[in-house]
Amino acid sequence: MAQLESSFKNMILVLSGITLFAAGTLASMSEFTKEPIEASKTAKQQNAIKEVLPASFDHLAEPVKIADGVENIVVYKAYNSKNEFIGAAVESSSNNGFAGKIVIMVGFDKDGNIINYSVLEQKETPGLGTKMVDWFKTKKGNQSIIGKNPAIAKLTVSKDGGEVDAITASTISSRAFLSSVRNAYQAFRKNKK
C-alpha cells in the first residue's frame, strides 16, 4: 500500500474518516444499551415502590404525574386487598444537589407519616453526599425522617432552623434531599383522595 503524502488535505480526509467511524460506533452502542438501561431503571423504581410502602399493600392505582414546571413528581396510591387506601409512594426530585439532580421515592402511610424512602438517582460526592442513601434512616441524633409527618415536623436541616441533622460536610445535598421529601409530601397531600 502506498503511503499518502503528508498534506493538509490528506490529514483532513483521514481525521474525517476516523471521526465518522467513531461516531457510528458510539451511536450503535448507544442504541444497543438503551433498552437494558431503561429496564434497569424500571426495575429499580418498582423495587423502590415495594420498599417504601406498607407490607399490607396489595395493588396500586394508575400513577398520577405532576409537573410543576421544574420537577416531575409521580404519585403511586397504594391499596390493600379490601381496596382501602393505605398510603402512597411518591417519586420526587430536586435539581439543587451539590452535583445536580437527586431522585427519590418516599412512602407515606394514609396519615402522611413517612414509612421509608429510597434514593433512585444521585451523583453526589462519594463518601459525603452519597450517604443520603442511609443517613436519613439512621436513628442517631436527629438524622432519621422515618415516622415523621411533614405536616408537623420541620423537615429542613438544623442549620436552617429545622429538625433534621444534615449529612456531615454535605449541607447542600441534605437540603436538596429534604426539599424532595417536602415536595413529595405536598404531592401526596394534594392527591390523597
**Percentage of the chain lying above the pLDDT 90 cut:** 78
Report, in angstroms and rounded to the nearest whole number, the Rg of the chain calculated over CA atoms.
23
CA–CA distance, 156 with 161 (Å, rounded to integer): 7
What was the pLDDT predicted at 48? 95
CA–CA distance, 144 with 138 (Å, rounded to integer): 5
What is the pLDDT confidence band of residue 123, given thresholds at 50, 70 and 90?
Answer: very high
What was the pLDDT predicted at 191? 87
Q: Cβ distance 106 to 89 under 8 Å?
A: yes
- 191: cell is 392527591
User: Looking at 5-9, 39-43, 62-66, 177-181, which range is the least confident one?
Assistant: 5-9
Whether 37 has a pLDDT exceeding 90, the answer reads no
What was the pLDDT predicted at 76? 96
Q: Where are the domains of the chain?
A: 50-190
Digit-coded pLDDT (tens) for 65-78: 987 666 789 999 99
Q: What is the mean pLDDT of the segment spanning 85-111?
A: 95
Give the type of residue at 158: S
CA–CA distance, 185 with 22 (Å, rounded to integer): 46
Rounded to a whole number of angstroms, the distance between the first and last alpha carbons of the chain is 76
Task: Assign 89 to helix, strand or coil.
Answer: strand
